[in-house]
Structure 1
Amino acid sequence: MKLEAITWQRMAERLAGHLDEPPREGGAWQRVGIDGAPAAGTGVLAGELAEALRQRGRSALVVAAGGFLRPASLRFEFGRQDVDAYLGGWYDTGALWREVFAPTDPDGSGRVLPDLWDPVTDRATRSPYVELPAGGVLIVHGPLLLGQWFPFDLSVHISLSEGALARRTPAEERWTLPAFARYARETDPGSVADALVRADDPRHPAWTGLRRP
């Protein structure tokens, strides 16, 4: 696999340029997924892409998957370090479909809920809906996004080697490492995504470029 050294800013500009093309299904909004473990720092590229789009006169809304965690009573039903629960039960995918993706369907309202649940207080955030104008771009970032059939017009997977993932994951979260190993085996996000980024050294990312027209 050939990887090209690139900066996050330049990568964002390349992605923004690609998004100048009409959406696949001809809808009013485009949807981008930036997938990667928490240690991959998906929010960095999401923020750079939003800024690159705004410089091109496009509206952009960044939504973190971490704002759609389920309540602690559901996440920890089988213990605080259950790998199966983390893979299949921590993130409220139903709420993401309902509150984030459905409003940006071709017949949607454009009223997106930016977050739903605060895992620190374990309470609803009660954030107001955000109006994403027609022609705007929704950017969803976080872990375990691929393989969920989310309707992304463009997807990027930020990959870390096994060693880099272990080093950059805080000690109290290293129990999640088997979950990401399973995700890599079962979903193969690096092949599913439209672009693969290797970010073992976050200061010097490299990527495949966009692998489809």
Structure 2
Amino acid sequence: MQVTPVTPDRLVDEVAELVDARAGRVRVALDGPQATRPLALAEQVAEVLRTRGRMAVVVSAGDFLRPASVRLEFGREDPDEFLDGWIDAGGLRREVLDPAGPAGSGRVLPRLWDAAADRAHRGGYVDIGDAGVVVVAGALLLGRGLPFDLAVHLRMSGAALARTLPPAERWTLPAYSRYDEERFPEEEADLVVLSDHPDRPAIRR
């Protein structure tokens, strides 16, 4: 096992190169807690891919949450429900991952649910063509059987996460512990990025 420190810009290029090496449509997971900045990385990777001539769409897992009446059924601070019941995995598969697959239509819905308003999002579908890329960014994405072609896990240790999370979100810590212990995201990932210090990432090969 080898750990290689990289700059944030080099990390963007590394992920983009992994994607660009694949022909046809590519479904990418950028998996990590919010403190590891998966959405920002996704936007940067997508921009690099576009400069290389690939259609790239960024999808935030936060736009594929289940309705509040469902995900908060057991309270607003239930870590087990946060792990297992917040993400609308069926909607993500139906509206993004299956259409972006090799046999899919290529028409994806980047946003399904407006969590702030707790209603369906009003955005439309996007056609990614025959060689487009969808980059799904968010936490707790792996180990669900979702059909990703490439997975990047932004790993943050429990201690670093505890230091980083605002007090109002520390109730989620047991969910992240269970995720590591039960879903094995590092084993599912094609690339593991050590992200205790997101400004100084390192790639574990």
TM-score range, shorter-chain basis? over 0.9
Q: Which residue of 2 aligns with 1:20?
A: 20
Q: Which residue of 2 aligns with 1:178?
A: 174
Q: Which residue of 1 aligns with 2:119?
A: 123
Q: What 5-or-longer segments of structure 2 have no aligned partner?
A: none
Structure 1 residues 135-144 or 101-110, which shifts more? 101-110
Q: Deviations over 1:3-56 (max 9, x none)?
A: 111122212212222323335xxxx41111110112221112211211121121
Supply the distance in 1 between the matched residues of 2:157 and 2:18 (Cα, whole angstroms).
Answer: 27
* Structure 1 length-normalised TM: 0.91
CA shift for structure 1 position 163: 1.7
Q: Which residue of 1 aligns with 2:90?
A: 94
- Residues 1:154 and 2:150 aligned together: yes
Q: Which residue of 2 aligns with 1:54?
A: 50
Q: Deviations over 1:66-120 (max 9, x none)?
A: 1001111001111111122111111100000100011112221111111111111
Structure 1 SS opposite 2:200: coil
* Structure 2 length-normalised TM: 0.95
Supply the distance in 2 between the matched residues of 1:150 and 1:101 (Cα, whole angstroms).
Answer: 8
Q: Deviations over 1:117-143 (max 9, x none)?
A: 111111111211111121111101101
Q: What 5-or-longer segments of structure 1 have no aligned partner?
A: none
**What is the aligned-residue RMSD (CA, Å)?**
1.3
Q: Which portions of structure 1, spanning 4 or more consecutive aligned residues, are displaced by more than 4 angstroms?
A: none
CA shift for structure 1 position 198: 0.9
Supply the distance in 1 between the matched residues of 2:6 and 2:191 (Cα, whole angstroms).
Answer: 13
Structure 1 SS opposite 2:99: helix
Is residue 68–residue 115 contact of structure 1 (8 Å, CA) maintained in 2? yes
Aligned residues between the structures: 205
What is the aligned-residue identity percentage? 50
CA shift for structure 1 position 177: 0.4
Q: Deviations over 1:176-198 (max 9, x none)?
A: 00000000001121222111111
Is residue 3–residue 204 contact of structure 2 (8 Å, CA) maintained in 1? yes
Structure 1 SS opposite 2:20: coil
